[in-house]
Chains A and B, each alone.
Chain A
Amino acid sequence: MCDTCGCSDGEQGVRLVEFGNGNGHDHHDHPHTMLLEQKVLARNDELAAGNRAWLAEREIHAVNLMSSPGAGKTTLLERTIRGLIGEVGISVVEGDQETLFDAERIRATGARVIQVNTGAGCHLDANMVATALRRLDPAFQSVVFVENVGNLVCPALFDIGEHSRVVVTSVTEGADKPVKYPHMFRTADVVLLNKIDLLPYVDFDPARFTEGVGLVRPRTEIIQVSATRGDGLDEWYGWLRTRHGRSVLST
Protein backbone atom coordinates (compact mmCIF):
# COMPACT_ATOMS: atom_id res chain seq x y z
CA MET A 1 0.00 0.00 0.00
CA CYS A 2 1.18 3.50 -0.79
CA ASP A 3 2.11 5.38 2.40
CA THR A 4 1.34 8.68 0.79
CA CYS A 5 -2.15 8.23 -0.56
CA GLY A 6 -3.17 4.83 0.79
CA CYS A 7 -3.89 3.28 -2.59
CA SER A 8 -3.26 -0.40 -3.02
CA ASP A 9 -3.01 -2.66 -5.98
CA GLY A 10 -4.49 -5.56 -3.99
CA GLU A 11 -1.98 -8.05 -5.41
CA GLN A 12 -1.22 -11.00 -3.16
CA GLY A 13 2.45 -11.68 -2.72
CA VAL A 14 3.58 -8.38 -4.14
CA ARG A 15 6.40 -6.78 -2.25
CA LEU A 16 6.24 -3.02 -2.29
CA VAL A 17 9.47 -1.13 -2.40
CA GLU A 18 9.08 2.54 -1.60
CA PHE A 19 11.12 4.74 -3.83
CA GLY A 20 9.98 7.92 -2.01
CA ASN A 21 8.45 10.59 -4.11
CA GLY A 22 9.09 13.47 -1.72
CA ASN A 23 6.59 15.22 0.51
CA GLY A 24 4.44 16.72 -2.17
CA HIS A 25 2.16 13.73 -2.86
CA ASP A 26 2.88 14.32 -6.51
CA HIS A 27 0.88 11.68 -8.36
CA HIS A 28 2.45 9.40 -9.86
CA ASP A 29 3.24 5.86 -10.78
CA HIS A 30 4.11 3.40 -8.02
CA PRO A 31 7.27 1.44 -8.65
CA HIS A 32 6.98 -2.04 -7.16
CA THR A 33 9.18 -5.07 -7.17
CA MET A 34 7.12 -8.17 -7.91
CA LEU A 35 8.83 -11.39 -6.94
CA LEU A 36 7.82 -13.96 -9.54
CA GLU A 37 10.22 -16.85 -8.86
CA GLN A 38 8.92 -19.11 -11.56
CA LYS A 39 10.50 -21.32 -14.15
CA VAL A 40 10.74 -19.75 -17.56
CA LEU A 41 9.32 -22.92 -19.09
CA ALA A 42 6.69 -23.44 -16.38
CA ARG A 43 3.83 -23.31 -18.90
CA ASN A 44 5.54 -25.82 -21.21
CA ASP A 45 6.28 -28.09 -18.25
CA GLU A 46 2.62 -27.99 -17.14
CA LEU A 47 1.46 -28.94 -20.61
CA ALA A 48 4.08 -31.71 -20.75
CA ALA A 49 2.83 -33.10 -17.44
CA GLY A 50 -0.69 -32.99 -18.92
CA ASN A 51 0.50 -34.96 -21.95
CA ARG A 52 2.16 -37.52 -19.70
CA ALA A 53 -1.02 -37.97 -17.69
CA TRP A 54 -3.11 -38.27 -20.86
CA LEU A 55 -0.74 -40.95 -22.17
CA ALA A 56 -0.66 -42.78 -18.83
CA GLU A 57 -4.45 -43.10 -18.83
CA ARG A 58 -4.09 -44.97 -22.10
CA GLU A 59 -1.00 -46.93 -20.97
CA ILE A 60 0.89 -45.50 -23.92
CA HIS A 61 4.66 -45.18 -24.01
CA ALA A 62 5.85 -41.99 -25.71
CA VAL A 63 9.33 -41.67 -27.20
CA ASN A 64 10.93 -38.34 -28.07
CA LEU A 65 13.18 -39.19 -31.02
CA MET A 66 15.89 -36.58 -31.57
CA SER A 67 18.89 -36.18 -33.85
CA SER A 68 20.51 -33.82 -36.29
CA PRO A 69 18.92 -33.66 -39.76
CA GLY A 70 19.69 -36.72 -41.84
CA ALA A 71 20.75 -39.08 -39.04
CA GLY A 72 18.09 -41.57 -40.13
CA LYS A 73 15.19 -41.06 -37.71
CA THR A 74 12.47 -41.61 -40.30
CA THR A 75 14.16 -44.66 -41.82
CA LEU A 76 14.57 -46.09 -38.32
CA LEU A 77 10.86 -45.50 -37.65
CA GLU A 78 9.77 -47.13 -40.92
CA ARG A 79 11.88 -50.14 -40.08
CA THR A 80 10.71 -50.28 -36.45
CA ILE A 81 7.01 -50.05 -37.36
CA ARG A 82 7.40 -52.91 -39.86
CA GLY A 83 9.63 -54.91 -37.50
CA LEU A 84 7.14 -54.81 -34.63
CA ILE A 85 3.96 -55.05 -36.66
CA GLY A 86 1.38 -57.27 -34.96
CA GLU A 87 3.28 -57.03 -31.66
CA VAL A 88 3.42 -53.34 -30.69
CA GLY A 89 1.04 -50.75 -32.11
CA ILE A 90 3.01 -47.70 -33.19
CA SER A 91 1.83 -44.27 -34.25
CA VAL A 92 3.91 -41.22 -35.01
CA VAL A 93 3.95 -37.46 -34.57
CA GLU A 94 6.25 -36.06 -37.24
CA GLY A 95 7.93 -32.72 -36.59
CA ASP A 96 9.52 -30.77 -39.43
CA GLN A 97 9.73 -27.12 -40.32
CA GLU A 98 7.99 -27.76 -43.63
CA THR A 99 6.63 -30.50 -45.94
CA LEU A 100 4.64 -33.69 -45.40
CA PHE A 101 7.42 -35.91 -46.77
CA ASP A 102 8.15 -37.79 -43.56
CA ALA A 103 4.47 -38.23 -42.70
CA GLU A 104 3.89 -39.72 -46.14
CA ARG A 105 6.71 -42.20 -45.59
CA ILE A 106 5.24 -43.25 -42.24
CA ARG A 107 1.73 -43.50 -43.67
CA ALA A 108 3.07 -45.88 -46.32
CA THR A 109 3.93 -48.33 -43.52
CA GLY A 110 0.27 -48.36 -42.48
CA ALA A 111 0.87 -46.56 -39.18
CA ARG A 112 -1.16 -43.58 -38.02
CA VAL A 113 0.73 -40.33 -38.30
CA ILE A 114 0.24 -36.61 -37.74
CA GLN A 115 2.61 -34.08 -39.26
CA VAL A 116 3.42 -30.93 -37.29
CA ASN A 117 5.06 -28.19 -39.34
CA THR A 118 6.77 -25.74 -37.06
CA GLY A 119 7.49 -23.11 -39.71
CA ALA A 120 10.35 -21.07 -38.32
CA GLY A 121 10.35 -23.16 -35.12
CA CYS A 122 13.39 -25.29 -34.40
CA HIS A 123 11.81 -27.78 -31.98
CA LEU A 124 8.52 -29.25 -30.87
CA ASP A 125 7.04 -28.01 -27.61
CA ALA A 126 4.49 -29.56 -25.27
CA ASN A 127 1.63 -27.50 -26.68
CA MET A 128 2.22 -28.68 -30.26
CA VAL A 129 2.46 -32.27 -29.06
CA ALA A 130 -0.71 -31.94 -26.97
CA THR A 131 -2.69 -30.89 -30.03
CA ALA A 132 -1.08 -33.55 -32.23
CA LEU A 133 -1.69 -36.37 -29.73
CA ARG A 134 -5.39 -35.63 -29.50
CA ARG A 135 -5.74 -35.65 -33.26
CA LEU A 136 -3.60 -38.77 -33.59
CA ASP A 137 -5.74 -40.59 -31.02
CA PRO A 138 -3.24 -43.42 -30.49
CA ALA A 139 -4.41 -46.88 -29.45
CA PHE A 140 -4.50 -48.14 -25.86
CA GLN A 141 -1.17 -49.69 -24.75
CA SER A 142 0.60 -48.57 -27.91
CA VAL A 143 3.85 -46.69 -28.51
CA VAL A 144 3.88 -43.12 -29.82
CA PHE A 145 7.05 -41.87 -31.45
CA VAL A 146 7.46 -38.12 -31.62
CA GLU A 147 10.04 -37.47 -34.31
CA ASN A 148 11.38 -34.09 -33.29
CA VAL A 149 12.72 -31.46 -35.67
CA GLY A 150 16.20 -32.47 -36.84
CA ASN A 151 18.38 -30.38 -34.56
CA LEU A 152 20.92 -31.36 -31.90
CA VAL A 153 20.45 -28.17 -29.88
CA CYS A 154 16.98 -26.79 -29.29
CA PRO A 155 14.79 -29.90 -28.74
CA ALA A 156 16.95 -30.87 -25.75
CA LEU A 157 15.43 -28.18 -23.56
CA PHE A 158 11.75 -28.84 -24.12
CA ASP A 159 9.86 -31.51 -22.23
CA ILE A 160 7.02 -32.69 -24.47
CA GLY A 161 5.58 -35.24 -22.04
CA GLU A 162 7.62 -38.17 -23.29
CA HIS A 163 8.67 -41.20 -21.22
CA SER A 164 11.86 -41.96 -23.12
CA ARG A 165 14.37 -39.81 -24.91
CA VAL A 166 16.16 -41.49 -27.76
CA VAL A 167 19.05 -39.71 -29.48
CA VAL A 168 20.15 -40.95 -32.90
CA THR A 169 23.56 -40.16 -34.36
CA SER A 170 24.99 -41.53 -37.58
CA VAL A 171 28.58 -42.46 -38.32
CA THR A 172 28.70 -39.88 -41.10
CA GLU A 173 28.37 -37.06 -38.55
CA GLY A 174 31.64 -37.46 -36.67
CA ALA A 175 32.49 -39.11 -33.38
CA ASP A 176 32.75 -35.84 -31.48
CA LYS A 177 29.01 -35.04 -31.52
CA PRO A 178 28.31 -36.01 -27.88
CA VAL A 179 30.86 -33.56 -26.52
CA LYS A 180 29.97 -30.87 -29.05
CA TYR A 181 26.27 -31.10 -28.18
CA PRO A 182 26.30 -32.16 -24.53
CA HIS A 183 22.86 -30.77 -23.67
CA MET A 184 21.24 -33.14 -26.12
CA PHE A 185 23.18 -36.22 -25.07
CA ARG A 186 22.97 -35.62 -21.33
CA THR A 187 19.23 -36.31 -21.30
CA ALA A 188 19.27 -39.42 -23.52
CA ASP A 189 17.87 -42.67 -22.16
CA VAL A 190 19.51 -44.53 -25.01
CA VAL A 191 21.77 -43.48 -27.87
CA LEU A 192 21.44 -45.17 -31.25
CA LEU A 193 24.52 -45.05 -33.45
CA ASN A 194 23.05 -45.42 -36.92
CA LYS A 195 24.44 -46.21 -40.39
CA ILE A 196 27.10 -48.57 -39.07
CA ASP A 197 27.01 -50.29 -42.48
CA LEU A 198 28.99 -47.23 -43.66
CA LEU A 199 31.77 -47.66 -41.08
CA PRO A 200 34.25 -49.11 -43.63
CA TYR A 201 33.90 -45.99 -45.75
CA VAL A 202 34.08 -43.16 -43.22
CA ASP A 203 36.59 -41.93 -40.69
CA PHE A 204 34.55 -42.63 -37.57
CA ASP A 205 35.98 -44.03 -34.35
CA PRO A 206 33.19 -45.79 -32.38
CA ALA A 207 35.42 -45.96 -29.27
CA ARG A 208 35.83 -42.20 -29.30
CA PHE A 209 32.09 -41.79 -29.70
CA THR A 210 31.43 -44.11 -26.76
CA GLU A 211 33.94 -42.20 -24.67
CA GLY A 212 32.18 -38.93 -25.56
CA VAL A 213 28.76 -40.27 -24.54
CA GLY A 214 30.33 -41.46 -21.28
CA LEU A 215 31.60 -37.96 -20.55
CA VAL A 216 28.21 -36.31 -20.82
CA ARG A 217 25.91 -39.19 -19.84
CA PRO A 218 27.67 -41.96 -17.93
CA ARG A 219 26.22 -45.48 -18.11
CA THR A 220 23.93 -44.68 -21.04
CA GLU A 221 23.41 -47.62 -23.34
CA ILE A 222 24.61 -47.18 -26.92
CA ILE A 223 23.09 -49.45 -29.54
CA GLN A 224 24.81 -49.68 -32.90
CA VAL A 225 22.30 -50.06 -35.70
CA SER A 226 21.87 -49.87 -39.41
CA ALA A 227 18.28 -48.90 -40.12
CA THR A 228 18.75 -49.78 -43.80
CA ARG A 229 20.58 -53.11 -43.42
CA GLY A 230 19.02 -54.20 -40.14
CA ASP A 231 22.08 -54.55 -37.89
CA GLY A 232 21.35 -54.11 -34.18
CA LEU A 233 17.62 -53.74 -34.60
CA ASP A 234 16.80 -56.73 -32.40
CA GLU A 235 18.68 -55.05 -29.58
CA TRP A 236 16.81 -51.80 -30.22
CA TYR A 237 13.46 -53.60 -30.28
CA GLY A 238 14.40 -55.32 -27.03
CA TRP A 239 15.11 -51.95 -25.41
CA LEU A 240 11.80 -50.59 -26.66
CA ARG A 241 9.84 -53.64 -25.49
CA THR A 242 11.26 -53.22 -22.00
CA ARG A 243 10.37 -49.53 -21.82
CA HIS A 244 6.95 -50.12 -23.31
CA GLY A 245 6.30 -52.94 -20.86
CA ARG A 246 7.09 -50.63 -17.98
CA SER A 247 4.52 -48.11 -19.16
CA VAL A 248 1.88 -50.79 -19.44
CA LEU A 249 2.73 -52.36 -16.08
CA SER A 250 3.10 -49.10 -14.19
CA THR A 251 -0.45 -47.98 -14.77
Chain B
Amino acid sequence: MHELSITQSVVEAVADRVGERRVTVVRLSIGRLSGVVVDSVRFCFDLVAEGTVIEGAVLEVDEPTGHCRCRDCAAEFDVDDPIVLCPRCGSADVDVQSGRDLRIVSVEVTTACATPAAAPTANRA
Protein backbone atom coordinates (compact mmCIF):
# COMPACT_ATOMS: atom_id res chain seq x y z
CA MET B 1 0.00 0.00 0.00
CA HIS B 2 2.64 2.52 -1.03
CA GLU B 3 -0.21 4.79 -2.13
CA LEU B 4 -0.55 5.88 1.49
CA SER B 5 3.05 7.13 1.52
CA ILE B 6 2.58 8.64 -1.92
CA THR B 7 -0.51 10.50 -0.73
CA GLN B 8 1.25 11.67 2.42
CA SER B 9 4.05 13.00 0.23
CA VAL B 10 1.49 14.89 -1.86
CA VAL B 11 -0.15 16.45 1.17
CA GLU B 12 3.18 17.39 2.79
CA ALA B 13 4.57 18.87 -0.43
CA VAL B 14 1.43 20.90 -1.07
CA ALA B 15 1.27 22.11 2.54
CA ASP B 16 4.92 23.24 2.29
CA ARG B 17 4.20 25.28 -0.79
CA VAL B 18 0.86 26.90 0.06
CA GLY B 19 1.55 28.07 3.59
CA GLU B 20 -1.65 29.21 5.28
CA ARG B 21 -3.74 29.29 2.13
CA ARG B 22 -6.73 27.04 1.97
CA VAL B 23 -6.54 24.44 -0.81
CA THR B 24 -9.74 23.64 -2.69
CA VAL B 25 -8.40 21.51 -5.56
CA VAL B 26 -5.26 19.36 -5.92
CA ARG B 27 -4.29 18.27 -9.43
CA LEU B 28 -1.98 15.30 -9.90
CA SER B 29 -0.53 13.55 -12.91
CA ILE B 30 -0.16 9.81 -12.31
CA GLY B 31 1.13 8.07 -15.41
CA ARG B 32 -0.38 4.74 -16.32
CA LEU B 33 3.05 3.08 -16.06
CA SER B 34 3.90 4.66 -12.70
CA GLY B 35 2.95 1.68 -10.54
CA VAL B 36 0.59 3.80 -8.48
CA VAL B 37 -3.08 2.88 -8.23
CA VAL B 38 -5.15 6.03 -8.60
CA ASP B 39 -8.17 4.60 -6.79
CA SER B 40 -5.98 3.86 -3.77
CA VAL B 41 -4.63 7.41 -3.77
CA ARG B 42 -8.21 8.68 -3.86
CA PHE B 43 -9.08 6.36 -0.99
CA CYS B 44 -6.21 7.68 1.12
CA PHE B 45 -6.52 11.33 0.16
CA ASP B 46 -9.35 12.47 2.46
CA LEU B 47 -7.88 10.58 5.40
CA VAL B 48 -4.42 12.05 4.96
CA ALA B 49 -5.74 15.54 4.25
CA GLU B 50 -7.80 15.66 7.44
CA GLY B 51 -6.64 18.39 9.78
CA THR B 52 -4.40 20.03 7.15
CA VAL B 53 -4.89 23.01 4.84
CA ILE B 54 -5.89 20.47 2.19
CA GLU B 55 -8.84 19.08 4.13
CA GLY B 56 -11.96 19.09 1.98
CA ALA B 57 -10.04 19.69 -1.27
CA VAL B 58 -11.12 17.96 -4.45
CA LEU B 59 -8.56 15.61 -5.97
CA GLU B 60 -8.25 15.74 -9.77
CA VAL B 61 -5.99 13.15 -11.38
CA ASP B 62 -4.75 13.10 -14.95
CA GLU B 63 -3.58 9.64 -16.05
CA PRO B 64 -1.39 10.05 -19.13
CA THR B 65 -0.79 7.03 -21.31
CA GLY B 66 2.76 5.72 -21.65
CA HIS B 67 4.69 6.66 -24.77
CA CYS B 68 7.49 4.34 -25.87
CA ARG B 69 10.08 3.84 -28.55
CA CYS B 70 11.34 0.40 -29.54
CA ARG B 71 15.14 0.14 -29.41
CA ASP B 72 15.10 -2.68 -31.97
CA CYS B 73 12.81 -1.40 -34.73
CA ALA B 74 12.37 2.28 -33.74
CA ALA B 75 8.57 2.02 -33.70
CA GLU B 76 6.87 4.60 -31.50
CA PHE B 77 3.70 3.62 -29.71
CA ASP B 78 1.43 4.29 -26.75
CA VAL B 79 0.87 1.72 -24.04
CA ASP B 80 -1.06 1.37 -20.76
CA ASP B 81 0.26 -2.02 -19.67
CA PRO B 82 3.29 -2.12 -17.34
CA ILE B 83 4.76 -4.97 -19.38
CA VAL B 84 5.81 -3.02 -22.43
CA LEU B 85 6.23 -4.92 -25.68
CA CYS B 86 6.68 -3.38 -29.13
CA PRO B 87 3.47 -3.97 -31.12
CA ARG B 88 5.44 -4.10 -34.39
CA CYS B 89 8.32 -6.49 -33.63
CA GLY B 90 7.46 -7.87 -30.17
CA SER B 91 10.69 -6.68 -28.57
CA ALA B 92 10.74 -5.97 -24.85
CA ASP B 93 13.75 -3.69 -25.32
CA VAL B 94 11.76 -0.51 -25.20
CA ASP B 95 12.57 3.02 -24.09
CA VAL B 96 9.68 4.33 -22.01
CA GLN B 97 9.66 8.05 -22.75
CA SER B 98 6.65 9.03 -20.68
CA GLY B 99 3.88 7.56 -18.58
CA ARG B 100 5.85 6.97 -15.38
CA ASP B 101 5.25 10.48 -14.10
CA LEU B 102 4.17 11.06 -10.57
CA ARG B 103 3.72 14.83 -10.36
CA ILE B 104 1.84 17.45 -8.42
CA VAL B 105 0.71 19.72 -11.23
CA SER B 106 -1.15 22.54 -9.51
CA VAL B 107 -3.52 23.48 -6.73
CA GLU B 108 -6.39 25.91 -6.37
CA VAL B 109 -5.99 28.00 -3.26
CA THR B 110 -7.97 30.74 -1.63
CA THR B 111 -6.31 33.57 0.22
CA ALA B 112 -8.21 35.83 2.55
CA CYS B 113 -7.81 39.41 1.37
CA ALA B 114 -5.42 41.53 3.46
CA THR B 115 -7.71 44.56 3.41
CA PRO B 116 -11.30 43.52 3.90
CA ALA B 117 -13.91 45.87 2.40
CA ALA B 118 -15.72 46.17 5.69
CA ALA B 119 -12.67 47.57 7.47
CA PRO B 120 -12.77 51.32 8.26
CA THR B 121 -10.86 53.44 5.73
CA ALA B 122 -8.60 54.90 8.43
CA ASN B 123 -7.24 51.47 9.16
CA ARG B 124 -6.02 51.08 5.61
CA ALA B 125 -3.46 53.87 5.79
Contacts and interface: CB of A to CB of B under 8 A. Distances in A.
Interface in B78-106: 82-83, 85, 91-93, 102-106
Given A29-B111, A125-B5, A41 B92 contact: no
Interface SS of chain B: helix, strand, loop or mixed? mixed
B24 interface: yes
A44 B10 CA distance: 12
Chain A residues touching B, range: 35 or more
A73 B78 CA distance: 37
A214 interface: yes
Contact of A27 (B92, B105, B113): B113
B117 A183 contact: no
A43 B13 contact: yes
B83 A216 contact: yes
B103 to A, nearest CB: 6
Contacts of A43: 9, 12-13
Given A30-B110, A30-B111, A122-B1, 15 more contacts: A27-B117, A32-B109, A33-B109, A34-B106, A35-B105, A36-B107, A39-B102, A41-B9, A121-B5, A153-B35, A154-B2, A157-B6, A179-B83, A215-B83, A216-B83
Closest 8 CB pairs of A and B: A154-B2, A29-B110, A183-B35, A27-B117, A27-B116, A40-B102, A218-B93, A7-B114
